[in-house]
């Protein structure tokens, strides 16, 4: 199967993981070199995946510009005439791709919605279903792969992301009969603060608790997986991969925590809270002080509602997320 090859420096892997998740949320196939099996010939695998890919994204930063392997990947991609899309994460544009249109992702922001639409013609379009349809009036006929040498439109990309247009295609399944349409609509509209509160209300309803109540430990450890996955999918989709339980779980593990519901220690927990913006310096941030801004808020900041007992509850919900295979 053809895929998108991302060329990047390991030092930028936090941003690349976010980018890959956003691409997947748009049903665009991605291959990363973070899952190469031990015992394989690493350069050979890289070359094979590069030659099999449909297009190449190059995440430009001073670190990747100094990377021997990134430069090798870029050189080979140019030699075999792969379509290349440079993304400027940090520093100046590279001379080697100066003739190509660069997408501004400075500061760790995701590409605008139109960028994902630009990539989609490179891949056959699946038959629209409740799980796969992303935009209204998508063609039902398969779109053939773009020919070698095809270049994207040179029109200026809009830098401010806007939520995907349709909402009716979202899977709103619930094991408990909870109606998640309002949450979907709030997320679609970019009303992040009210979306966070609506998430809390619907999660309480899923465990048969009233608003302003809190979820008990046993209820967290047995929270319905269908509902948890659906809530996460909505947050990931409409934040373009920036927020959601699965994003928070990844950061939690990167900080060194285990998903066993046990306290990971103050150092790990504080690092996680710093990463997602819940703690600054030596103090936790008040809920009212959060930015609720897709562009400026940290990755993984939302959902943030603490109606399950603060840090203890978060460790329980991360354990349930692992069990539900998010």
What is the pLDDT averaged over residues 163-188?
A: 81
Q: Residue 150 pLDDT more than 60?
A: no
Q: How far apart are CA 254 and CA 110, in angstroms?
A: 20
Question: Which domains are seen in the chain, by residue range?
Answer: 4-122 (3.40.50.10140), 181-323 (no CATH)
Q: Residue 181 has what pLDDT?
A: 95
What is the pLDDT averaged over residues 203-230?
A: 88
CB–CB of 171/131 below 8 Å?
yes
- Angle between helices 225-238 and 245-254 in degrees, nearest 10: 90
- Angle between helices 181-188 and 192-206 in degrees, nearest 10: 160
The SS3 of residue 59 is strand
Express each pLDDT in 70-115 by its tens digit: 999 999 998 898 899 999 999 999 988 887 889 999 989 999 888 9
CA 54 to chain centroid, in Å, comes to 21
Express each pLDDT in 199-216 by its tens digit: 989 999 999 988 878 888
Judged by phi (left if over 0) then psi (alpha if -120 to 50, else beta), residue 137 lies in left
Q: Residue 309 pLDDT more than 80?
A: no
pTM of the model: 0.54
Tokens found for residue 217: 């430990």
């Amino acid at each position: 199967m053809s895929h998108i090859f991302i060329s990047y420096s390991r030092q930028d892997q936090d941003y690349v993981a976010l980018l890959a998740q956003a691409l997947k949320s748009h049903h665009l196939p991605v291959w990363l070199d973070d899952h190469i099996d031990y015992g394989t010939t690493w350069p050979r695998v890289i070359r094979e995946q590069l030659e099999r890919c449909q297009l190449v994204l190059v995440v430009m930063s001073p670190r990747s510009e100094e990377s021997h392997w990134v430069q090798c990947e870029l050189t080979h991609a140019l030699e075999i005439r792969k379509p290349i899309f440079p993304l400027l994460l940090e520093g100046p544009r590279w001379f080697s791709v100066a003739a190509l249109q660069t997408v501004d992702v400075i500061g760790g922001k995701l590409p605008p919605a139109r960028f994902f639409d630009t990539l989609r013609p490179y891949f056959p379009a699946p038959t629209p279903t409740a799980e796969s349809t992303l935009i209204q009036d998508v063609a039902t006929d398969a779109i053939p792969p773009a020919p070698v040498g095809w270049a994207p439109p040179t029109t200026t990309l809009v830098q401010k992301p806007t939520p995907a247009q349709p909402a009716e295609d979202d899977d709103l399944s619930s094991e408990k009969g909870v109606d998640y349409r309002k949450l979907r609509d709030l997320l679609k509209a970019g009303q992040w603060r009210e979306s966070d509160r609506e998430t809390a209300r619907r999660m309480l309803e899923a465990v048969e608790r009233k608003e302003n109540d809190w979820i008990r430990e046993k209820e967290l450890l047995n929270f319905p997986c269908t509902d948890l996955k659906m809530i996460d999918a909505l947050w990931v989709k409409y934040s373009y991969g920036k927020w959601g339980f699965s994003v928070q779980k990844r950061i939690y593990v990167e900080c060194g925590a285990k998903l066993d519901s046990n306290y990971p220690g103050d150092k790990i927990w504080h690092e996680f809270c710093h990463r997602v913006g819940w703690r600054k310096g030596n103090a936790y941030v008040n809920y009212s002080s959060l930015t609720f801004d897709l562009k400026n808020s940290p990755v993984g900041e939302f959902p943030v509602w603490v109606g399950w007992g603060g840090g203890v509850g978060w460790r329980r919900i991360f354990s349930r997320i692992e069990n539900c295979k998010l």
